[in-house]
Each structure stands twice: as C-alpha cells, then as structure tokens.
C-alpha cells in the first residue's frame, strides 16, 4: 500500500529548512547571474559581427542580428527569473530573521517569568514595609545606646546660665578691658616716707624770709 501511494504521489517530500532553502536560492541566483553575463557577451559579439559584415555581406550581417535578437529574448527571460529568485531570497531571509527575533523574545519572556517566580507586587510591598520597620528599630537602638546613663540626671539650667555668664565676664575683663585681677595687685608698702632733716628745713625757712624782706624794702 505504501509503495502504491508513493508511486502515485501519495506522499510528499519533507520541506527543506529555511537555511537550506536560502542556500539553494543563493546558488540559483549565482547561476542565473552568470548566464545573464554570458548572454550579454553573446549579444555584444553579434553586434560586432553585424557591423563587421555590414552591407558588404548582408546575409551574414542579418544572421548576426537575428542571433542577437534571440539572445536578447533569452536575456530578458533570465533577468526576469533572476529578479523573481532574488525577491524570494530576500523574503525568505527576512522571514528567517523575524523568526530568530521572535524566538529570542520568547526565550527572554520565559526567562523573565522564571526570574519573577512566585513574586507578586504585594510581596514586594510587604518586604519594603518590613525593611522600613527594621530600620526604625535600628535607629531607636542606636539612639538609646548613644544617650548613655549620665544623661538621665537632671541639671538646673539656671545654674548653668549663671556659670556661663561668669565665664564670659572673666573673658571680657581679661581680653578686652585688660583689667587685672585684684588678687594679683602688689601689696601697699607699710614703711613711712622719708622726711627732711630739721636743720635743713629751718635753713629753707630762713631763705624764704630773707627773700620776702628784700622785695618789701
């Protein structure tokens, strides 16, 4: 039964892959291009032959022109076929490129889905809330540790202000007015001041009396 189906075309050959088809189309394009170049050279040669014979040998010249017309017809068919094959090759290459892009995007989507796993936006929000909460706890612990035990004692701010004012007054006296501290002044001398001798004092009085009598006379 299988042989009967095969004999009458009951089975179809397996379609070639895109890469195989592209390779075959490229080979066909090269072959048609070579044939086109060959026919163009043939046409040039027949034109030369027709010019060579000219009116001197009309029969040979006309035969050359007839062959030229035949080659031109073949060249037209070859160029048309070449254009069709090139169009098909470009379409197949574009399709292959699009398939590769889609396959890559499909793999990327699957990888992204796998990376997300069981995560959801709600899970992410819950996680961020936990992080914020733990950060607040860490800040409170740091504040408690840095405060220390001594800071818990009550201090009278009025006493501190009075002490500060006293310090400022001392600095003002020493640096601006340069007023020395009374505790550093030298002691007052207790010794009596020296007095003039009695004889010298009487002589001074006699001199003054003599000067007065001179002005009166």
Termini Cα distance of the chain: 189
Q: What percent of the chain has pLDDT over 70?
A: 73
Mark 82-105 as b/e (b = at least 16 C-beta within 10 Å).
Answer: beebbeebeebeeeeeeeeeeeee
pLDDT of residue 3: 45
pLDDT over threshold 80, residue 146: no
pLDDT at residue 214 tops 70: no
What is the reported pLDDT for 25?
A: 93
pLDDT tens for 10-34 read: 455 677 788 888 899 999 999 999 9
In this predicted structure, what is the pLDDT of residue 8?
44
Query: Smallest Cα–Cα separation from 53: which of 43, 42, 45, 64?
Result: 64
pLDDT of residue 72: 95
- How far apart are the C-alpha atoms of 106 and 109, rounded to whole Å? 5
Residues 39, 76: Cα–Cα separation, whole Å: 10
The alpha-carbon radius of gyration of the chain (Å, integer) is 63
Q: How far is CA 40 from CA 28, 37, 44, 73, 132, in A?
A: 18, 5, 6, 11, 81
Contact 15, 26 (CB under 8 A): no
User: Which position has the token pair 């601006």?
Assistant: 176
Domain 15-121 has CATH 3.40.50.720: no
CA gap 39, 80 in Å, rounded: 14
Average pLDDT over residues 132-155: 76
Give the whole-angstrom CA distance, residue 105 versus residue 114: 14
Higher pLDDT, 79 or 191: 79
87, 27 in Cβ contact below 8 A? no
Q: Which residues, 6+ apart, have CB-to-CB distance to 200 below 8 Å? A: none
Per-residue model confidence as pLDDT tens digits over 178-203: 655 555 555 656 665 555 555 566 67
- Is the pLDDT at 1 greater than 60? The verdict is no
CA pair distance 108, 173, nearest whole angstrom: 81
Looking at the predicted structure, is the pLDDT value of residue 7 above 50? no
Find the length of the chain: 217
Q: CA dihedral in degrees (43, 48, 54, 59; nearest 10)?
A: -50
Report the greatest alpha carbon distance in the chain.
189
């Amino acid at each position: 039964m299988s042989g009967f189906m095969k004999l009458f075309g009951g089975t179809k050959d397996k379609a070639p892959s895109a890469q195989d088809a592209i390779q075959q189309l490229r080979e066909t394009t090269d072959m048609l291009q070579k044939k086109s170049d060959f026919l163009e050279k043939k046409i040039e040669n027949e034109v030369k032959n027709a010019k060579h014979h000219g009116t001197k040998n009309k029969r040979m010249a006309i035969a050359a022109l007839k062959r030229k017309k035949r080659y031109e017809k073949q060249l037209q068919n070859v160029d048309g076929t070449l254009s069709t094959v090139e169009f098909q090759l470009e379409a197949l290459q574009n399709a292959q490129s699009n398939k590769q892009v889609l396959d890559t995007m499909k793999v990327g989507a699957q990888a992204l889905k796998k990376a997300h796993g069981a995560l959801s936006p709600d899970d992410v929000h819950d996680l961020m809330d936990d992080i914020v909460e733990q950060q607040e706890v860490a800040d409170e612990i740091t504040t408690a540790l840095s405060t220390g035990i001594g800071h818990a004692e009550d201090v009278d701010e009025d006493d501190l202000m009075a002490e500060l004012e006293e310090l400022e007054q001392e600095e003002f006296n020493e640096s601006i007015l340069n007023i020395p501290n009374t505790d550093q002044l030298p002691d007052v001398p207790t010794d009596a001041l020296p007095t003039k001798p009695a004889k010298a004092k009487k002589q001074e009085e006699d001199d003054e009396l003599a000067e007065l009598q001179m002005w009166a006379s």
